[in-house]
Amino acid sequence: MDACTDKQIISSEDRMSGYPVPILIQNEDTSVFELDEEALASVLLNTGIEDKHVCVLAVAGAFRKGKSFLLDFLLRYCCNRDSEDWLGDSSSPLRGFKWRQGSKRETTGILVWSKPFMVKKKSGEEIAVILMDTQGTFDTQSSMKDSTVVFALTMMVSSVLVYNLMNNIQEDDLMNLQTFTSYGIQAQEDCDTSHAFQRLQFLVRDWGFPYETPYGHKGGQGVLDEILQITPKQHPAHQDVRRDLRKCFRDINCYLMPHPGFKVIQHANFDGKLDDIDPEFVEHLRVLVPHLLAPENLVKKEFGGQPIKARDLYNFFKTFMEVFKDVDLPEPTTLVEFAARASSQAALEAGKEQYVNAMDTLVGGDRPFLKTTQMETEHEKEKQRAVASYLEKNKYGRKNQRVVEKYQLQLEEEIDKLYNKYVEQNEAKNVFKAARTPATLFSALMF
């Protein structure tokens, strides 16, 4: 059954405000993925959000493995972060992202929670945390291709990727990451950035060998260390993916979860209440969820070593769709192309922001009139500084000079347009010029 089907159900819940917003949707007739730009803008381009650095926590992996179910517990924690008893009433149904009983195939796509959660980092900075649910299937050849697009986009935009797997970490699960690790290595080359991706959290559901390796983080670390070991017997591709994974991700962890109990998987009318979930599973939720969402683990999304803001994230989605519209399967080279564009766009925004901040302090609304020559000098100086900052921050752009130049030109044009506005604003403050109009001259003579 659907634990949550629409906005009304959610809004009636006291402390939980918000609803899942589908942002990447697969067209039923053409199978083509479409980005709902308006829906995405409604989440990311709001005052108080668009200028914030972001942490995108995404849960990815095959279909019907309890991803959305887990996300709803993350949501519960986000809504009751300050409460010791964040899991709440044990008889309340679980709401939030849609999760399903039964085996019906669901469509592929991406959803985000309508309300980003503001979390204060140790430094005092507030960042916007975006919870992202992905719907992949990986069950047939065609759905495999569709799921790859979803998975690629998820990899590129998330800063905490929860890779949800059943029973164990298999060779296939690692090989699904190969495209991204080879992209990551290419992207990192020649850029003085340390890691292409931030945090990867393997999450093994229904771990079957607790007597050999215990549930939780420690057991997970053991399993992870073992599977990531490189041995001479392995196929070279299997060796590469292991080596590159460590190089591309700043942080890799693993958590082993127990089975949630038979009511969860067998009862058609199970509604997610804690009473029906195995207590051992609930105990592990109490450890896993606050850990995943601890401020120190909610790492900022970075691109080429630069933290990005919510409005950059919005542009990332759009750029991704542009780059991949004619691409059959994401390849490392297309991902590098995407990275160059996305990085250039983000560096352009940062350069523009720097210019506006500088000009505002010089000639903003409350500043006195400046002589034209002085204005021009300041503008030229700030424009050059903005371009220098653009080039300095645009680490992934360096891979593609054509892209760097295109966006640099755009930055310069946008700055010139902004300058014209500053000129107009400045002119309006010119009392001498205003005094030269006949009406003002007349009134000046009269008094």
Which residues lie near Mg ion (CB under 5 A)? 67-68
For every residue of 353-415, DSSP letters joined together read HHHHHHHHHHHSTTSPP--HHHHHHHHHHHHHHHHHHHHHH-TTGGG-HHHHHHHHHHHHHHH
CA distance 181 to 36: 28
In the complex with ligand GDP, the residue whose CB is nearer, 206 or 378, is: 206
Pairing of strands 249-256, 197-205: parallel
Closest separation between CB of residue 63 and ligand GDP, Å? 5
Residue 65 partner contact from ligand GDP, Mg ion, none using kind-dependent CB cut-offs of 5 to 8 Å: ligand GDP
Could you give the 3-state DSSP secondary structure of residue 35? strand
In the complex with ligand GDP, the residue whose CB is nearer, 100 or 291, is: 100
- Interface ranges with ligand GDP (CB under 6 A): 63-69, 99-101, 205-206, 257, 259-260, 264-265
Closest separation between CB of residue 267 and ligand GDP, Å? 9
Residue 66 partner contact from Mg ion, ligand GDP, none using kind-dependent CB cut-offs of 5 to 8 Å: ligand GDP
Residue 378 partner contact from ligand GDP, Mg ion, none using kind-dependent CB cut-offs of 5 to 8 Å: none
Spatial CA neighbour of 91 closest among 270, 259, 262, 265: 270
In the complex with ligand GDP, the residue whose CB is nearer, 45 or 62, is: 62
Closest separation between CB of residue 416 and ligand GDP, Å? 49
In the complex with ligand GDP, the residue whose CB is nearer, 63 or 422, is: 63
- Tell me the CA distances in angstroms from 144 to 99, 132, 180, 183, one per residue in order: 21, 20, 16, 20
Cβ atoms of 131 and 71 closer than 8 Å: yes
Q: How many CA atoms lie within 13 A of 106 on its CB side?
A: 21
- Tell me the CA distances in angstroms from 345 to 48, 340, 349, one per residue in order: 21, 9, 6
Closest separation between CB of residue 67 and ligand GDP, Å? 3
Report the residue closest to ligand GDP, judged by CB. 66
CA distance 323 to 303: 17
In the complex with Mg ion, the residue whose CB is nearer, 19 or 338, is: 19
Report the residue closest to Mg ion, judged by CB. 68
In the complex with ligand GDP, the residue whose CB is nearer, 52 or 65, is: 65
Pairing of strands 306-307, 302-303: antiparallel
Residue 264 partner contact from ligand GDP, Mg ion, none using kind-dependent CB cut-offs of 5 to 8 Å: ligand GDP
In the complex with Mg ion, the residue whose CB is nearer, 96 or 219, is: 96
Residue 64 partner contact from Mg ion, ligand GDP, none using kind-dependent CB cut-offs of 5 to 8 Å: ligand GDP
